[in-house]
Structures are given as structure tokens and as C-alpha cells.
């Protein structure tokens, strides 16, 4: 199906998933305003949110099944397989977050149905980021996502740490958004357009590869996106915000929010700036320091939540390796790794949420001692998560890292691939102690893990995550094919006449 986005009908079809989720958000807004006082109202909002995500996923599937494409250059929104796969990733992560949140919110007495509405708006912003064909659309999506997540981070108003996390995230996020917006302005000044495909054409046809204004704009864009993906040295907000936010929100931020940042970054760099040789070197530098700093600082952490926060920083470095390759193979590796890391990280944070109380900031690695003896299935699930994050064979994390290594070596970055392997070995120093505590140490007292349990929906979501991690670690072919096909649709725009540089 070929869409002409200059017509209203085809534009509405191209935006069908976003329109469906927006309409459902308005319905949910009315319901939340009407019923917002009891645990039953909270559960109703959660079920409606799941229904909205499911309906939106069907809309994305329909566009993918009909092979919807644009005629010519997409003016504002991209219609391609890269967008569809990214949308499924966001919707899946958000849906699993809702399932993990049902019992958590009631246990922590967070009777705020607005929580689910904020998840919907954040997911809508992510979809705009991944599908934006224009820098302005990507920026609007980023701000919609960010404002919702700022509030989610501080939604537990009884905890000072949550308020601190929200304030830090808001202040630093606004600062990073200013960098991004100024970068967009400079890119517009150099090329006369904010359309991603037209920027690429202008760079190639007008010989702007060394244009100072364009390079400065690109640098500021990298700073803004570096903050959103928690790349060193723009990561300082992440440990405190992850530590202070409610744990299901932390899992959502570490997976879906990070994935949205990487999806938008990959689209911008590949489509608009593929002709500029400077940015792969900058991304290589970011990945170098991010992998080293994230892993070394994580080694010193005894708090499980802060360890996972710094682990998330290290994984951002791994994903930046795939981004630095700058071709379809690198983009496919990025998508596969985001899926593998998403399942793994969501399950790990959900298990942490089941173990702790009051934000789980005080849960130490040693507090898991003896878990295998009293809660063997939960210990097994957490062990699978740790091994996948480590990149152990038989898990999706191993296949994801192998795919990134293959892309890096094929792209002439063998030394960076070697560094990825080295830092992954270092990460064993903080992943394996978690497994050792669960299986090789005795519980400090008989009822040490008596309160660690999941509700029915949480158990279903956890089983889905662990099964996916193991399945894609053994049978990754279908997901590999899907990511390769979607990455192939992400190509620099060609075939249009250049704009006048003064437009």
C-alpha cells in the first residue's frame, strides 16, 4: 500500500497508530477524572490502558501487513518497517510495565490512576520519536515523552527520594532539550529544512560535509540524544533518578525510554547525516567511555537498584557501538539488542520490585542470600536475567552482543568490538555475585524472603519475559530476520531536487 501523505486520508492512515492511542488516551482521561479514589478504580485504569496498547499494536500490525509505504519523501512522519518494529517494542515494554504495576501500586498505596495515563502519553511520545520524518516531530515526541516520565519518576509523593529524582530529571532534561532544540535550529540554518530526508539530500548535493554550522548543529543533537540514552558523560542523572523512581517506572525508563532515544538517534544519523564522516568517530568515543565508566562504577555498587542503573549505562555503550557502524547491519543489531535488553531489564527490575518495599533503594545484593532455597523459580528468573545481561550463551543477551560484534567487525571497528568483549567480562564482577548470593549463601533468617511474591498478572509478565530471553537465545532467526528487514527500510532519502540554501 502506497500512501501519499500530502492527502488528508493517507496522512490519517499513516498516523493510524498514533491517532488510535491518542483517542484511547482521551477516553482514559475521562475515566480517570471520573473514577480515581479506590484500588478498583486503579485496576480499571490499568485494564483500559492494556486495551489501548493492544488496539494500537493491531493498528501497527495492519500497516506492516499491508506493507504501507510513502510515495516519495515523507513530509513529517516516516512510514517504514523500522518504525513498526520500534512501535511494537515501545507498546510491549509499556504493556509489561502495566502488568508489573498492578500489584506494586496497590502494595505501595499509590492509588493514582493517572499513573497509567502518563504511561500512555509517554508511549505516544516514543512512537512519534521513532516514526518522525522531521526534526520538529521528533522533538515534540521527545518532549511529550519526557514530561510524562518526569511526573512518573516523582509520582510517589510520600518519598523524598522520588521528589528529588523527578526534580533532577526535570532540570537536567530541560537543559538537554535546549541543546537539542538549538542543534535543530543550526541544522535548519545550514540546510534550509528540518525534514530528515531533505537534510541528507542537501548535505550531499550542496557539499555541506564540512560546513561549520551544520557540524555544530550535529554536535548539539548528539548532546541532547546522549542525555536521553544516558551515555557518558551525560549520564549523571541516571543513577539518582533510577534509584528514586518507583521500580516499575525505573524499568520502563531503562528500556522503553532508552529505546526511543536510540531509535530516534539512529534515524537522524542514518537518514540525515550519513554523508558526514565526523559523527561515527564521535559516537565511537561516546561508546568507549560509556562502556568503561558504566562497568567500572557498577562494580563498586552494593545496592541492587543502583547496580542495575549503572549497568543500564554500560548497555547504552554497547548499543552505541551498533549506532557507530552507521549501516543497515548496525541498525538491525541495535533493534535486536533493544528487544533482548528490554525483556531482560524489565524482568530484573520487576523481581527487584517484588523483593523490596518503599522504592527498593535499600535492597542490597547480599539481601538475596538463600533466595534459591525458598523461592526457586524467582531465583531462576533473576539468574536468567543476570546471565542475559552478562551475555551468557543460550540467552538473548548473548545473541544481541554477538550481533553487535559482527556488525562492528564488518564495519572496520574490530578494536571497539574487542573492548565490548573486555567490558562484558568486567561486568561478570557485578552480575555473578547476584547469582552467587542466591545459590551459594544461606538466608540470614528463616523468613527472609517470605514477602517476595508476585500477583497473578505479574507472574504472567515475568514468565513472558524470561521465556522470551531463553527462546531468542536459542531460536533468534525470526527476530533477526525481522530486524534486518526493518533496518533495510531505513536509508538516506534520494531522488529529490536540492533546496536552495536560503529557503
Q: What is the mean pLDDT of residues 366-391?
A: 88
CB within 8 A of 54, min separation 6: which ones? 95
Return the residue matching grid coordinates 508511549. Answer: 123
Please calculate the CA angle 340-341-346 and round it to the nearest 5 degrees: 110
C-alpha cell at 473: 537465545
CA distances to 273, 345, 402, 419, 451 from 281, rounded to whole Å, are 13, 29, 22, 15, 49
CA dist 241 and 256 (Å) reads 15
Q: What is the pLDDT of residues 102-142, one digit of tens each?
A: 888 888 888 888 899 999 999 999 999 998 889 999 999 99
pLDDT at 497: 37
Beta bridge partners of 132: 77
* Number of neighbouring beta carbons within 10 Å of residue 478: 10
Give phi and psi for 354, each to the nearest 5: -70, -30
pLDDT for residue 263 is more than 70:
yes
How many other C-beta atoms can be found within 10 angstroms of the C-beta atom of residue 34?
A: 9
Phi, psi of 35 (to 5 degrees): -130, 105
Q: Which residues contact 358 (CB under 8 A, 6 or more apart)?
A: 108, 159
Asked whether residue 19 carries a pLDDT value surpassing 70, the answer given is: yes
- Could you report the per-residue pLDDT of 388-418, keeping only the tens digit for each? 999 899 999 999 999 999 999 988 888 999 9
Separation between Cα atoms, residue 116 and residue 151, nearest integer Å: 12
pLDDT band at 448 (very low <50, low <70, confident <90, very high): low
The alpha carbon of residue 390 and the mean position of all alpha carbons in its chain are separated, in whole angstroms, by 18
Average pLDDT, the chain: 87
Q: Which of 261, 21, 272, 18 is nearest to 129 (CA)?
A: 261
**pLDDT average, residue stretch 456-477:** 91
316-372 residue pLDDT tens: 999 999 999 888 888 999 999 999 999 999 999 999 888 766 556 677 888 888 888
Helix (H, G, I), strand (E, B) or coil at 446: coil
Looking at residue 494, what is its pLDDT?
A: 35
Domain ranges of the chain: 2-488
Is the Cα torsion angle 409, 415, 416, 421 positive or negative in sign? positive
Determine the Cα–Cα distance for residues 476 and 469; give it in Å rounded to an integer.
10
Rounded Cα gap, residues 264 and 261, in angstroms: 5
Length of the chain: 503
**Would you state the pLDDT for residue 502?**
39
In whole angstroms, give the CA distance from residue 77 to residue 88: 17
Amino acid at each position: 500500500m502506497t500512501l501519499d501523505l500530502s492527502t488528508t486520508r493517507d496522512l490519517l492512515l499513516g498516523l493510524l497508530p498514533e491517532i488510535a492511542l491518542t483517542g484511547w488516551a482521551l477516553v482514559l482521561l475521562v475515566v480517570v477524572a471520573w473514577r480515581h479514589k479506590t484500588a478498583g478504580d486503579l485496576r480499571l485504569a490499568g485494564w483500559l490502558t492494556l486495551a489501548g496498547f493492544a488496539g494500537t499494536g493491531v493498528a501497527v500490525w495492519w500497516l506492516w501487513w499491508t506493507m504501507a509505504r510513502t510515495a516519495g519523501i515523507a513530509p513529517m512522519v516516516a512510514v517504514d518497517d523500522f518504525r513498526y518494529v520500534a512501535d511494537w517494542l515501545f507498546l510491549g515494554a509499556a504493556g509489561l510495565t502495566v502488568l508489573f504495576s498492578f500489584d506494586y501500586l496497590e502494595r505501595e498505596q499509590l492509588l493514582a490512576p493517572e499513573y497509567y495515563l502518563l504511561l500512555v502519553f509517554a508511549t505516544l511520545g516514543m512512537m512519534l520519536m521513532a516514526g518522525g520524518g522531521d526534526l520538529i516531530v521528533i522533538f515534540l515526541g521527545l518532549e511529550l515523552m519526557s514530561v510524562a516520565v518526569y511526573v512518573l519518576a516523582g509520582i510517589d509523593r510520600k518519598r523524598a527520594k522520588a521528589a528529588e529524582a523527578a526534580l533532577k530529571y526535570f532540570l537536567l532534561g530541560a537543559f538537554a532539550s535546549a541543546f537539542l532544540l538549538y542543534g535543530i535550529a543550526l541544522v535548519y540554518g545550514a540546510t534550509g529544512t528540518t525534514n530528515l530526508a531533505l537534510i541528507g539530500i542537501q548535505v550531499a548535493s550542496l557539499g555541506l560535509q564540512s560546513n561549520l554550522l551544520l557540524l555544530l548543529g550535529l554536535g548539539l543533537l548528539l548532546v541532547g540524544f546522549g542525555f536521553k540514552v544516558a551515555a557518558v558523560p551525560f549520564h549523571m542523572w541516571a543513577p539518582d533518578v533510577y534509584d528514586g523512581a518507583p521500580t516499575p517506572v525505573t524499568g520502563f525508563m531503562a528500556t522503553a525510554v532508552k529505546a526511543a532515544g536510540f531509535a530516534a538517534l539512529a534515524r537522524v544519523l542514518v537518514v540525515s547525516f550519513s554523508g558526514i564522516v565526523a559523527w561515527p568517530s564521535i559516537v565511537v568515543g561516546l561508546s568507549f567511555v560509556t562502556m568503561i565508566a558504566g562497568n567500572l562504577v557498577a562494580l563498586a555498587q552494593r545496592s541492587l537498584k543502583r547496580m542495575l542503573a549503572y549497568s543500564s549505562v554500560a548497555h547504552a555503550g554497547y548499543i552505541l557501538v551498533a549506532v557507530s557502524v552507521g549501516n543497515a547491519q548496525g541498525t538491525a543489531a541495535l533493534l535486536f539488542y533493544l528487544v533482548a535488553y528490554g525483556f531482560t531489564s524489565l524482568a530484573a527490575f520487576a523481581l527487584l520490585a517484588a523483593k523490596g518495599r518503599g522504592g527498593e533503594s535499600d535492597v542490597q545484593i547480599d539481601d538475596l542470600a538463600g533466595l534459591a532455597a525458598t523461592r526457586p523459580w524467582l531465583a531462576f528468573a533473576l539468574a536468567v536475567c543476570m546471565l542475559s545481561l552478562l551475555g551468557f550463551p543460550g540467552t538473548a543477551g548473548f545473541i544481541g552482543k554477538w550481533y553487535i560484534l559482527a556488525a562492528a567487525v564488518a564495519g572496520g571497528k574490530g578494536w571497539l568490538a574487542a573492548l565490548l568483549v573486555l567490558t562484558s567480562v568486567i561486568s561478570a564482577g557485578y552480575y555473578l555475585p547476584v547469582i552467587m548470593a542466591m545459590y551459594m549463601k544461606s538466608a540470614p533468617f528463616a523468613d527472609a524472603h517470605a514477602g517476595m511474591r508476585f500477583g497473578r498478572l505479574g507472574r504472567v509478565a515475568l514468565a513472558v519475559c524470561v521465556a522470551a530471553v531463553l527462546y531468542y537465545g536459542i531460536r533468534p532467526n525470526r527476530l533477526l530476520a525481522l530486524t534486518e528487514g526493518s533496518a533495510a527500510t531505513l536509508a538516506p532519502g534520494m531522488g529529490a531536487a536540492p533546496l536552495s540554501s536560503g529557503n
